[in-house]
């Protein structure tokens, strides 16, 4: 509060000083006029009780000072009251009329504002601010023609100058009188010579009115006058390109691009033009120059590269894209976005470790982007990096504790490590957060079914699987896992057969699902039917050791011992078998 008060006092003192200066304009009248006034007052009966000249001046100054105090704190009604009292004592003061005009203007009483502004100007035509106030009031009154005349009067006066042609031009622009706006700007240009703001304003007007040749001509004037200024080159090039004069733009940009320290946007435009022509090698070469410049905003670089990554255009070779992405990381080494786009580019190589390393580099610099954490966790889950998966999922959860998906990845890490208790904790928390997302809820219940089964908490496991099937009766993962685990437990075998049968009817060529159904039938001692599905499963080129071992088991049960031993031996070479495989082969006997 103290600071604000001091500021008000300082502003007030400054304003009061200005008022004092203004008072001088009416207080110091010629001596002869003062004498005449005194004489008149002496001889006029109605002025017998009027205050002396000095007293009147003093009172007027007092009211002015008080008025300014209220004006400064935006109490315009009280300011108005005091300005009016000052005017009664100094009716011929242009300064007081001006302040009254300003105050009425603030109060949106435009007729009174106009009257006092005009009176101030009538009394003193040597103060430019009186013209400006009157013009402002006239614009507020929706009298643009009057405002133009007022500004023209200011220009023609001793205190005016051609800069006010710019104000006249703006008035004409607001009225969409573009021809008169151009005329005003032309007059300003005649007075000042070539000026950037004037030329750019004219260029904009011409462009909006589809007078493209004139807009281009204005741009050419600026380029010729200031050839070292890249902004003018770029603006003109964009105009030329927009009007199908790309060859002219290309020539001009090539000339400007002689120095590689030039504005990098020039090289971006060149890259765009050559890409449009299908000359991708040249386009890439100019992009590389632009990308090496740290002054080019990283957002511009990323937008360019993202467009190339999303498109399959010719010339977007993987090595070029990665080189451009590496250039971004080199010129913006502290910006997380640089490593994100580099990782995105590296996805084209399927080099998952390098992709992951750059996403991790990004979160070291900025860990606030949930999407990047999601990509990290998805990669680690895919690569079965279970220790990293649980570690990074927990780091992500410290920042985003309400992100259900991060609880899913955390649970998957613990499930993969067979720490079923921790997996259940994560999946249950994620499930709580995913209550309104049916698909995600199904995923959590699926994993809870697996985890509770690992804990041998079978009622909870079955309930979780049943919750999924209620929402999604054909969920392949649940049909597979639920039926398989029931078979291993030798429980609810009729239900297990129903689930597995439905599974293979939906996916008749999937070797894993065929194996599951075959194994359920095996546990149910339906060996002939089991052989049918397991035999079909092993014919797949992707059949692993588990499937082939199962096939050997069913052959043994059907009395084909030698064939069974051959299948067990094949399964052992592939891996993924039970711990009994060696004993089966050695003893030539089935163990379960």
Domain count for the chain: 2
List all residues 6 or more positions away from 227 whose beta carbon is below 8 Å from its beta carbon. Answer: 233
| Nearest residue to 317 via CA among 348, 361, 354 | 348
Residue 557 belongs to some domain of the structure: no
Residue 352 and residue 379 in one domain: no
The pLDDT score that the predictor gives to residue 255 is 79
The pLDDT score that the predictor gives to residue 15 is 36
Q: Does pLDDT of 224 surpass 80?
A: no
Residue 427 belongs to domain spanning? 367-472
List all residues 6 or more positions away from 536 whose beta carbon is below 8 Å from its beta carbon. Answer: 511, 514
Of 454, 472, 490, the domain-final residue: 472
* Mean of pLDDT values over 35-52: 34
The pLDDT score that the predictor gives to residue 58 is 82
Between CA 175 and CA 147 the distance in angstroms is 12
431-468 pLDDT, tens digit each: 999 988 999 999 999 999 999 999 999 999 999 999 99
Residue 29 banded pLDDT, cuts 50, 70, 90: very low
Residue 408 and residue 455 in one domain: yes
Counting residues of the chain whose pLDDT is more than 90, the rounded percentage is: 56
| DSSP state for residue 159 in the 8-state scheme | S
Of 412, 437, 472, the domain-final residue: 472
The pLDDT score that the predictor gives to residue 315 is 53
Residue 261 and residue 336 in one domain: yes
The pLDDT score that the predictor gives to residue 56 is 61
The pLDDT score that the predictor gives to residue 54 is 56
Counting residues of the chain whose pLDDT is more than 70, the rounded percentage is: 89
Residue 450 and residue 426 in one domain: yes
Residue 592 belongs to some domain of the structure: no
Residue 300 belongs to some domain of the structure: yes
Of 338, 359, 380, the domain-final residue: 359
Determine contact, residues 501/517, Cβ cutoff 8 Å: yes
67-87 pLDDT, tens digit each: 899 899 989 899 898 888 888
Lowest mean pLDDT among 29-33, 287-291, 506-510, 523-527: 29-33
Residue 312 banded pLDDT, cuts 50, 70, 90: low
List all residues 6 or more positions away from 67 whose beta carbon is below 8 Å from its beta carbon. Answer: 78, 79, 80, 81, 82, 83, 86, 99
Distances in Å between the alpha carbon of 411 and those of 140, 266, 447, 463, 478? 67, 51, 8, 19, 17
270-283 pLDDT, tens digit each: 998 998 888 888 98
Residue 60 banded pLDDT, cuts 50, 70, 90: confident
Between CA 424 and CA 432 the distance in angstroms is 12
List all residues 6 or more positions away from 115 whose beta carbon is below 8 Å from its beta carbon. Answer: 101
Lowest mean pLDDT among 95-99, 313-317, 540-544: 313-317
Q: Which residues of 137-175 are buried (b: 16+ CB within 10 A; e: fewer)?
A: bbbeeebbebbbebbbbbbeeeeeeeebbbbbbbbbbee
Q: Does pLDDT of 323 surpass 80?
A: yes
* Mean of pLDDT values over 98-102: 91
CATH of the domain at 371: 1.25.40.10
Higher pLDDT, 111 or 205: 111
Higher pLDDT, 251 or 112: 112
The pLDDT score that the predictor gives to residue 313 is 58
Lowest mean pLDDT among 146-160, 348-362, 417-431: 146-160
């Amino acid at each position: 509060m103290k600071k604000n008060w001091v500021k008000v006092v300082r502003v007030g003192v400054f304003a009061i000083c200005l008022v004092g200066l203004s008072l001088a304009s009416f207080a110091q009248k010629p001596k002869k006029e003062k004498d005449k006034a005194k004489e008149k007052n002496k001889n006029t009966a109605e002025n017998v009780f009027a205050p002396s000249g000095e007293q009147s001046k003093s009172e007027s100054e007092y009211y002015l000072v008080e008025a300014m105090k209220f004006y400064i704190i935006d109490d315009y009604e009280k300011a108005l009251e005091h300005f009016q009292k000052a005017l009664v004592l100094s009716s011929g003061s242009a300064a007081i009329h001006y302040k009254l005009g300003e105050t009425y203007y603030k109060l949106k009483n435009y007729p009174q504002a106009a009257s006092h502004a005009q009176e101030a100007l009538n009394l003193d035509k040597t103060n430019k601010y009186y013209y400006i106030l009157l013009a402002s009031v006239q614009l507020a009154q929706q009298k643009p023609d009057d405002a133009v005349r007022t500004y023209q009067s200011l220009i023609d006066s001793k205190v005016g100058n051609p800069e006010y042609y710019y104000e006249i031009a703006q008035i004409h622009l607001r009225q969409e009188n573009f021809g008169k706006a151009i005329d005003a700007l032309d007059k300003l240009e005649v007075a000042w010579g070539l000026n950037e703001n004037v030329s750019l304003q004219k260029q904009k007007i011409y462009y909006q009115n589809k007078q493209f040749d004139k807009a281009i001509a204005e741009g050419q004037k600026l380029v010729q006058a200031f050839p070292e200024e890249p902004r003018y080159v770029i603006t003109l090039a964009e105009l030329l390109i927009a009007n199908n004069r790309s060859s002219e733009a290309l020539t001009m940009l090539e000339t400007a691009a002689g120095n590689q320290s030039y504005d990098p946007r020039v090289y971006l435009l060149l890259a765009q033009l050559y890409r449009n022509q299908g000359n991708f090698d040249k386009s890439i070469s100019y992009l590389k120059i632009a990308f090496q410049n740290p002054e080019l905003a990283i957002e511009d670089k990323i937008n360019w590269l993202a467009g190339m990554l999303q498109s399959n255009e010719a010339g977007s070779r993987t090595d070029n894209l990665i080189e451009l992405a590496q250039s971004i990381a080199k010129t913006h080494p502290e910006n997380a976005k640089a490593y994100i786009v580099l990782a995105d580019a590296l996805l084209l190589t399927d080099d998952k470790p390098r992709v992951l390393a750059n996403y991790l580099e990004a979160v070291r610099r900025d860990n606030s982007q949930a999407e990047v954490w999601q990509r990290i966790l998805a990669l680690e889950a895919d690569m079965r990096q279970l220790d990293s998966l649980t570690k990074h999922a927990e780091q992500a959860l410290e920042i985003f504790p309400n992100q259900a998906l991060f609880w899913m990845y955390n649970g998957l890490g613990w499930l993969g490590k067979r720490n079923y208790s921790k997996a259940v904790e994560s999946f249950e928390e994620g499930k709580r957060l995913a209550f309104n997302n049916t698909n995600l809820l199904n995923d959590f219940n699926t994993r809870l079914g697996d985890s509770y089964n690992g804990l041998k908490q079978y009622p909870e496991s079955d309930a979780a699987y049943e919750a999924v099937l209620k929402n999604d009766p054909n969920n392949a993962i649940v049909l597979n896992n639920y039926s398989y685990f029931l078979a291993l437990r030798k429980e609810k075998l009729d239900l297990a057969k129903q689930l597995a049968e439905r599974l293979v009817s939906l996916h008749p060529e999937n070797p894993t699902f065929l194996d599951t159904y075959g194994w359920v039938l095996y546990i149910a001692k339906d060996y002939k039917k089991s052989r049918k599905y397991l035999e079909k499963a092993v014919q797949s080129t992707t059949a692993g050791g588990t499937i082939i071992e199962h096939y050997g088991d069913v052959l043994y049960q059907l009395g084909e011992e030698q064939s069974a031993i051959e299948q067990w031996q094949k399964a052992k070479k592939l891996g993924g078998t039970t711990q009994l495989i060696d004993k089966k082969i050695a003893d030539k006997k089935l163990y379960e």
